[in-house]
A = this chain, B = another copy of it.
């Protein structure tokens, strides 16, 4: 995305103020920039300017600086922290939300992050270290630990007063109500707090129908629950039911978006990794495995073709030209079927009890597409054989039938494999997005060739 007008108006003054070391002007200007707009401005600076900008921010306004650090893409913020000195990094990170600081530090090696942690404010350091104990991609890592809660004995008026005295809560959508030992017992919205008499105890109007996740809940599960119940904030409890944090909707949206990207990348046999460190060798390495699978399938197909054609060469030379179309169509039809299933499973549209129904439906689609394109190819091949004079009369019909039938069977088989494989992998608890489509295209290279030559041997030479 190019700089829009608002961003473009800021970039040049930022550079000028940096050059002239006019820091008060610089900070005044930056205070008016929304975090969401900062990324484009940051990208417009040279590397040297980026570093000096954040050095100034770390000393003069680390809170503002931390908002910008957090809004950079994950790999961008890691890269920035690597290039800054430890002192500046510590100042910026200690002003981030603790979960954001932990997320950035987790992208560094222990050797890189330890000296920064040591320089951070002891309280922030302790919280960040506590978050880093939870396994990656769990609610524990995703949550904000400073969650605002009130005791169940408080009245509406007392709860409002408590809220007013706490100035540094990041966002407060809901008020959580806890008992003596910090067990989560209820929840109420700010609006409910305002619309009840000040002397009424919160316990009387709080909702006790709680949806919670645990610190070890997988982050995709957290996102699924938050999306399902439209929760702006999802409370996180420990194994004793004590309130330890809250996952907010903005982090949920990041997880959902990340997940969609991951699925799309995997479908093409490449990976999420490609986005994080996009060096050419790294990209080549992540893409090579699927290509190797395609290579293997193709090589086996070449052995099969060669094996058959050396014995049958004379009669089948005209037919072999149709092998690529048979393999290509099988791969395409199988991929379509696999992707419909994979996305159906991911969005919950294909449900556990309905696997067989979904499979039957897909088989119906397979049969119609196979018959349709098979017939089309019979006609096409027959015409081609006649025009070229490679076969005539009943020979031409028989050969055209072999070609069309091979296509139809390949497509049906591919569609059925494409549908069944994701369902099977899902049953086994394996994410079908990882390996379904490469497997389908590769196996169809081999199976399609075998189908073609088996039919040819049977119907023409048999």
A interface residue numbers (CB < 8 A to B): 1-2, 32, 34-36, 43, 73, 160, 163-164, 167, 172-173, 190-191, 194-195, 209, 211, 227-230, 232, 249-250, 252-253, 256-257, 260-261, 263-265, 267-270, 274-275, 278, 280-281, 283-284, 287-288, 290-291, 294-295, 297-299, 301-303, 305-306, 309-310, 313, 317-318, 320-329, 331-333, 335-336, 338-340, 343-344, 347-349, 351-353, 361, 364-365, 368-369, 372-373, 376-377, 380, 384, 388, 438, 441, 445, 449
Question: Could you name 12 residue pairs across A and B whose Cβ atoms are closer than 8 Å?
Answer: A256-B260, A264-B343, A267-B267, A268-B338, A268-B339, A270-B339, A275-B344, A284-B369, A301-B325, A324-B327, A328-B445, A331-B331
Residue of B nearest to A446 (CB): B324
With contact pairs A190-B190, A229-B36, A353-B2 given, residues A318 and B306 touching in the complex (Cβ less than 8 Å):
yes
Q: Is the CB of B324 within 8 A of A323?
A: yes
Question: Quick one: copies of this chain in the complex?
Answer: 2
Classify the interface of chain A: helix, strand, loop or mixed.
Answer: helix
Q: Is the CB of B263 within 8 A of A264?
A: yes
A48, B253: Cα distance in complex, Å: 38
A327 shortest CB reach to chain B, Å: 5
Residue of B nearest to A333 (CB): B291
7 tightest Cβ-Cβ pairs between the two chains A and B: A298-B325, A260-B260, A305-B321, A268-B339, A280-B364, A36-B229, A306-B321
A432, B372: Cα distance in complex, Å: 28
Complex interface: chain B residues within 8 A of A1 (CB): 348, 351-352
